[in-house]
Amino acid sequence: MMDEYAVWLVIENEEDEKRAEQVKQLAQEIAQKENVSYKTLLIEYRELKPFMLFNYLQIGKVNSRVYDIISGILEIDELQYKVEGFEPETTIDMQYFRPFFKKLTENLNLRSDTLIKIYYGKDLPVWFEIQKRIGAIAPKVFVPEN
């Protein structure tokens, strides 16, 4: 199913698979043109859940290292710390992510330790895989103000 604004897609049938294939091809063309590639972030549902209240979900690196992190915030013993040196690679608008995630996880029994695979890259659609269900969402594009 694709949302009415064509911002996200959850693969539920053959028509969705065809659309997903088109999105994948387009993403590959962009990646080759811009010389970027997909990276993978594997997290548990309990790590993603606190960020559902944010306006944006950001995925990136800390100080250009290999350490992937969501929204530049670490939670330690229920305290949140803004991570210095966080460099977001992609940003997702939560107004679209929330309905996308709800549709993606529909009829799934999510536990706190349920693994979520996130495939992301700069300016590329972000792919989520949860218990063999797959969906993609377009990244938020910030337009500089004049």
Give me the residue spans of the domains in the chain: 8-52+92-137
Q: How far apart are the first and last CA of the chain?
A: 37
Average pLDDT taken over every residue of the chain: 85
| Upper half-sphere CA count for residue 112 (Cβ side, 13 Å) | 3
Q: Which of 7-11, 70-74, 93-97, 123-127 has the lowest mean pLDDT?
A: 70-74
Question: What proportion of the chain, given as a percentage, has pLDDT over 90?
Answer: 36
pTM: 0.82
Looking at the DSSP assignment, which residues form a beta bridge with residue 23?
A: none
Check whether 144 has a pLDDT greater than 80. no
How does pLDDT run across 23-73, given as a tens digit for each residue?
Answer: 888 888 888 888 888 888 899 999 888 888 888 888 888 776 666 777 766
